[in-house]
Amino acid sequence: MSVRVKGTDTAIRIRWIPRYTALERYLHWGHTLTFILLTMTGMVLFFPFLAPLARGEAGQFMRLVHRVSAVLFAAVPVSYAVLQPRRLLLTLKELRFGRDDIGWLKGAIPYYLLGRHVDMPPQGRWNTGEKMNAVILVSGTIIFVLTGALMWFGKGVLPVWVFQAAVIVHDLTMFATVSMFIIHFYLAVAHPLMWQSLVSMRYGVISESYAREHHAKWYYGEEQAKKLYEQAKAKAAAHGKAE
């Protein structure tokens, strides 16, 4: 595909490489939509200032929407596991954390906030931040389903302390996941360095140059990425000394 550079006649050819399957993208947006619905209808019960929306018929409707969305929300990972079990396993395997992640975390603020070109250790298909987001959402989803089921079906069946604990864990999970969601939303929608992530979640592809720069371990493979990174670092050090 070629893209015309704004205000010029120059056309650039961009090579796009696949990052997500179509199913992965549908499920991502399905999860996003149901998550937003669940957050909105759950908050109504949670925040005292939203009490007017929780009352009577309106409140019953909110709770019904919460329950319907909850089923769809839980169906997302299940369909992934059923339809593309190998992809799911490979994806989960990518969630390993290592030395490069510590380096990434150290460099993240100057890089993403201040735009300084600090050396960032090479990343896989997902960078450290994306992996953290995934870990919190995957574990959050599991906890939501478990505690939500207890609150849904446990009343009068289980000892009251189980219900009491489930509400609190459900709320704390909401806290963790919604906080992550706010950051995720900002990075994906409003951050200048991340726009290609949004593209890849929309079209499933990412440009070659972006992959090379931001996801080197995925693009070059682990070994090669590491070698290139060491070389670049040595060069920069030498350059620094010469100055």
Partner 1 sequence: MGKVAMLYDSSKCTACRGCQVACKQWNDLPGTLTKNRGSYENPPDLSPYTWTRIRFIEKYEGGQMRWLFLAQGCMHCTDAACVKVCPTGALKHHPMGLVTLEQDLCNGCGYCTQFCPFHIPRLLTDALTGKGKSFKCTFCMDRVTNGEKPACVKTCPPGAFSFGERNEMIAKGRARVLYLQKNGYPNANLYGDVLLGSLGRMYVLLDKPEGYGLPVSPVSPALTHVWQDWVQPIVSVSFGVTALAAVTAFFIARRHIRMEEVE
β-pairing verdict for 2-4 and 11-13: antiparallel
Residue 137 CB contacts under 8 Å (≥ 6 apart), including other chains: 31, 177, 180
Which residue carries 């009343």 as its tokens? 155
Interacting partner of 22 out of partner 1, ligand HEM, none (Cβ under 5 to 8 A depending on kind): none
Asked if 104 and 128 touch (Cβ cutoff 8 Å), the reply is yes
Under the binding rule (CB under 6 A), the answer on residue 125 touching ligand HEM is no
Rg (CA), the chain: 22
d(CA 197, CA 221) in angstroms, rounded, equals 20
Of residues 72 through 101, those in contact with partner 1 by CB under 8 A are: none
Q: Max CA-CA distance within the chain?
A: 75
Q: How far is the CB of 186 from partner 1 (least distance, A)?
A: 4
Q: How far is the CB of 241 from partner 1 (least distance, A)?
A: 26
Query: Which residues of the shown chain bind partner 1 in the complex (CB under 8 A)?
Result: 44-48, 51, 54-56, 58-60, 62-64, 67, 112-116, 152-153, 155-156, 160-161, 163-165, 167-168, 171-172, 174-175, 178-179, 182-183, 185-186, 190-193, 195, 207, 209-210, 213
Query: Which residues of the shown chain bind ligand HEM in the complex (CB under 6 A)?
Result: 35, 38-39, 42-43, 45-46, 63, 66, 70, 73-74, 144-145, 148-149, 151-152, 167, 170-171, 174, 177-178
